[in-house]
Structure 1
Amino acid sequence: MTVGGFGSSGDYSFGNEPETDREQRREFRLTGRVTVNLELESPDPDEGREARVTTCYTSDLSATGIRVVAREEVTEGAILPAYVELFRNGAKAAYTLMVEVVWCRACDDGLWQVGLHVLESDDTAVLEWLETMAQALEED
Structure 2
Amino acid sequence: MARLKSFQRLAAQYADIADFLLVYIEEAHPSDGWISTDAPYDIPKHRSLQDRLKAASLMDRENPGCLVVADTMDNSSNASYGAYFERLYVVQNQKVVYQGGRGPEGYKISELRMWLEQYTNQSHSPGTVLVEV
Q: Give the TM-score normalised by the residue count of structure 1.
A: 0.32
Q: Which structure's residues are more often strand, by fraction?
A: 1
Q: Which structure's residues are more often helix, by fraction?
A: 2
